[in-house]
Chains A and B, each alone.
Chain A
Amino acid sequence: MTGDAPILEDDLQAYVDGRLPEARRTAVEAYLAQHPDLRERVAAEMRQRASLRGQLEGKFAEPVPPRLWVANIQAARRAGAMRRLRAVAAGALIFAVGAGAGWLAADREIVASSSRPAPTTAVAQNASAAYRTFVVEVAHPVEVASAQEGHLLQWLSRRLGKPLVAPDLTPYGYKLMGGRLLPGNGSAAAQLMYDDASGKRLTLYVRAAEGSETAFRFQREGDAATFAWIDQGFGFAVTAPLAREELMPIAEAVYRRFGSVSSSN
């Protein structure tokens, strides 16, 4: 755009918006100086533009009300996610069961993969698939971060009438990252994710499941080892890229933690 081209309506609009390059602006001003009617029109449009901005300045300067804070909207969304979680099955989840289950009894044995029927296998496979899907997630490994753990546990406690805790795996070097809701075999599944200092991730997967097996099933897919079991209407699985004997004590700790919560009531 040069200063010499004929002045067009587009130039006038861009002039009103203050968006013309210097040379072009000078050309427009010279042109307007020779056309008083047009000059008056453009001046009116600039005046109205400025008035409009001025009228809305106060609105822009207002503090944003809390209901429009992103953090609050995110919290409400998570509460919605929690309601969905509750609605679909996970109410009695990991935290509620365990008492009297007996699978941790001294004589319990870790069973071979091939010797167990379908339900535990399905849980282990679902857990393993969920693990593979989300363990590689860098940006969004969890849906609800561990910062909301209190909220999550408070809600479950209220639902269950029991004081609840998330399994503490720090003795094994794993810290809770958070959790997410997943589709699981026609209902919902929950996945809690932990990681250790080196970024190695471990998941605890839970969903409703039929069956009354109380024994572990062990499964390995690639790096990921899974211990799964079914108890009181729920399937559980602990998955991590660990050797079987490294994972075993963690799975037991998870059970003990829930068991002690249940039995303390």
Chain B
Amino acid sequence: MADPGPLIEPHIPALRRYAFALLRDRDRADDLVQDTLERALSRWLLRRADGDVRAWLFTILRNLHVSSWRRDRRRGAVLALDEAAMPAVAARQDAALEIHDVLAALDQLPEEQKSLLLLVGVEDFSYDDAARILGMPIGTVMSRLSRARQRLRAIVETGKVALLRRVK
């Protein structure tokens, strides 16, 4: 009997990492992973048998994240951060700050750029797989990646990051 457990379990630490990087909240991240696993188990027989389980799981997680984010936004639960209203933090801008705040800086990117950087740079998905997970044309991945890194660099280097989100 094909128990999905042994095929899914090895990917859970990485799913938790991705979810945490997206949400920066322990419990909500694990909620998202739990939803992902429930969805995956309920659709286990519907997945492409020859497909890559890891990419499939990440696709589910990401889709759930995006749809719940849209739901939250309709409810007005997500507050837009107005960068202009943020206090200047130039005083804390040093190498150590940069090191520690890349994850926080990531929060300022649009979700798609954030996910792309995480999938490629942290989860080591191929460019093609990352494009498929994110539903973007494969031919556009490299230029999007370049833009995302450029933007991240700008955020980190101008030091706007530190006070936008408190480290939990």
Contacts and interface: CB of A to CB of B under 8 A. Distances in A.
B37 A73 contact: yes
A53 interface: yes
Contact of B41 (A49, A53, A74, A139): A74
A132 B151 CA distance: 60
B122 A53 contact: yes
B57 to A, nearest CB: 11
Contact of B33 (A10, A41, A47, A68): A68
Sorting the interface of chain B by its residue count into under 10, 10 to 19, 20 to 34 or 35 or more gives 35 or more
Q: Is the interface of A mostly helix, strand, loop or mixed?
A: helix
A187 interface: no
A221 interface: no
Given A9-B146, A64-B13, A73 B34 contact: yes
A59 interface: yes
Interface of B: 1-2, 4-5, 8-9, 12-14, 16-17, 20-21, 30, 33-34, 37-38, 41-42, 45, 98-100, 102-103, 105-106, 117-118, 120-122, 142-143, 145-146, 149, 152-153, 156-157
12 contacts: A9-B142, A17-B121, A44-B153, A44-B157, A48-B102, A48-B156, A55-B103, A70-B4, A70-B5, A70-B12, A70-B41, A77-B38
Interface of A: 9-10, 12-14, 16-17, 41, 44-45, 47-49, 51-56, 59-62, 64-65, 67-71, 73-74, 77, 139-141, 145
